A and B are shown apart, each in its own frame.
Chain A
């Protein structure tokens, strides 16, 4: 009987923590034992005891899915660093290309399964191209295996006070520790690297240590970029920071070798800061990114100042929150009637909402 998942696997793809401390692990192998949690195809389950007093662990996702993301088949953490997929992908700027819908996913996985056999590894998971990202991952990774993860699950009856099994109950009789938020994890989200609460917390902590954590003043939507010399133009900066959110303006200050990147929304700025964790480089120049107080001196502010009909009582300081009363005049009325649409203004992107 040919195994549906391709070649017959001798040994699963596992991390050291999942295997446990005993070098003489006994494992059972069951062909077509279960369906993969991600792609729902049948695959070979391996089941073993990762140490005394631990629960039995088994492979949860198929080897194809695991190879696509370079993760352990049981814990879905990166094989090299033991970090969640979202953390590693953010650091190394890897995009999640695995589609979510059933039929798309199946097709994609089937195609990738063939590719893996034929061409070998494609995505660079160790971040050779991104040394800054790799450094960050090394810092965040655990040094030793964390065997606590292999303990039995918490007895839900005990938590309610209703465990009748008492001392022979194989589950842990402890109260759950840690945040309730972190407990809400979904295997599919963890695999794709989206919406992972653990990853979010790790990244937030790392931002803090990098000095890139979000300032408390929620209205600051600007990033301060250092290392901007002659070769990095405003257009380059714009291109680099555009994908994270709508830009309000980009101001280059040649004297200080720096630049300000102002976003329309806070979320955009935060996304850019997150991505800049893994190092920001434009035109082969590596730049340092930090949060800043905006001091825009771009053409847009000049535009605003030049207007005779000035609805914007708050001049061009981006730090002031937008108010509903300041509805901008219709496009034709600006600039003495010359048809200059907001989209024609190079420093204003999208809806003009001030």
Chain B
């Protein structure tokens, strides 16, 4: 949920380091808006939301990267970004777990969404697929997010 600030929030200033990452985050905002407004001509029914999911992943990845991998921002700034909707807290939580480092989206590991209670096909490592056919999962268009790929 981006940037709807309550009265208390509006009084607080963004933490230090915000100015450095602000341009990238604004760019991501713009990208998201573009993805939301894309026309759905020439796309399959499921394909319409794929670009939105992709930008969401990229944005969260950026925040995760800055904080956990490169350690360039403080915890305060990290929390500030997450609270303001620049990253998905739940998705980042999965990335911290072993085997889910490259997870595409949260829908793909939800067994309740599938007929037989399994995960999405994009979670299957390419080594096990044995068909030579590229898969695009229906939720987010992911072509394989197993950690070994």
* A255 interface residue (CB < 8 Å to B): no
Contact A167–B133 (Cβ < 8 Å):
yes
Contact A26 B136 (CB under 8 A): no
A168 at the interface (CB under 8 A from B): yes
Report which of B42, B115, B116, B135 forms a contact with A168, defined as CB distance below 8 A.
Answer: B135
Residues of B within 8 A of A164 (CB): 42
Contact, CB under 8 Å: B134 / A168 = yes
Size of the chain A interface, CB-CB below 8 angstroms:
9
For the complex, is A344 an interface residue (Cβ under 8 Å from B)?
A: no
Give residues 101-147 of B contacting A (CB, 8 Å).
Answer: 115-116, 131, 133-136, 143
- Chain B contacts for A53, CB-based, 8 A: 131
Contact B136 A28 (CB under 8 A): no
A26 touches B133 (CB 8 A): no
A164 and B143 CA atoms in complex are apart in Å by 16
Q: By DSSP majority rule, is chain B's interface helix, strand, loop, or mixed? A: loop
Count of CB-CB pairs between chains A and B under 8 Å: 15
User: Which residues of chain B are near A26, meaning CB under 8 Å?
Assistant: 116
Which residue in chain B gives the minimum CB-CB distance to A166?
A: B134
Chain A: CB-nearest residue to B132 = A167
Query: Which residues of A, 32-53, contact B by the 8 Å Cβ criterion?
Result: 47, 52-53
Closest Cβ of chain B to A281, distance in Å, is 53
| B135 pairs with A28, CB closer than 8 A | no
**In whole angstroms, how far apart are the Cα atoms of A170 and B131 in the complex?**
11
Residue numbers in B under 8 Å from A28 (CB-CB): 115-116
Give the residues from 127 to 156 in chain A that come closer than 8 angstroms, CB to CB, to chain B.
none
CB pair B134 A167 closer than 8 Å? yes
A54 to chain B, nearest CB (A): 12
List which A95-126 residues lie within 8 A (CB) of chain B. Answer: none
By beta carbon, the residue of chain A nearest B117 is A26
> Within the complex, what minimum Cβ distance (angstroms) separates A56 from chain B?
10
Q: Identify which of A28, A47, A52, A167 gathers the most chain B CB atoms within 10 Å of its CB.
A: A167
Taking CB atoms and an 8 Å cut-off, the chain A residues in 1-39 that contact chain B are 26, 28
Could you say which residues of chain B place their CB within 8 Å of the CB of A167?
A: 133-134
Query: Closest Cβ of chain B: how far from A28's Cβ, in Å?
Result: 5
- State the Cβ distance, A269 to closest chain B Cβ, in Å: 53
Q: Mark A42-72, 1 if CB is under 8 A from B, else 0.
A: 0000010000110000000000000000000
- A248-272 residues with Cβ-Cβ distance < 8 A to B are none
Contact B131 A168 (CB under 8 A): no
Mask: chain B, 13-52; 1 = CB below 8 Å from A; 0 = not: 0000000000000000000000000000010000000000
User: With the chains together, A28 CA to B114 CA distance in Å?
Assistant: 11
Which residues of B approach A to under 8 Å, CB–CB? 42, 115-116, 131, 133-136, 143
The 4 residue pairs across chains A and B that have the minimum distance between CB atoms: A168-B134, A167-B134, A168-B136, A28-B115
Chain A interface residues toward B at CB < 8 A: 26, 28, 47, 52-53, 164, 167-168, 170
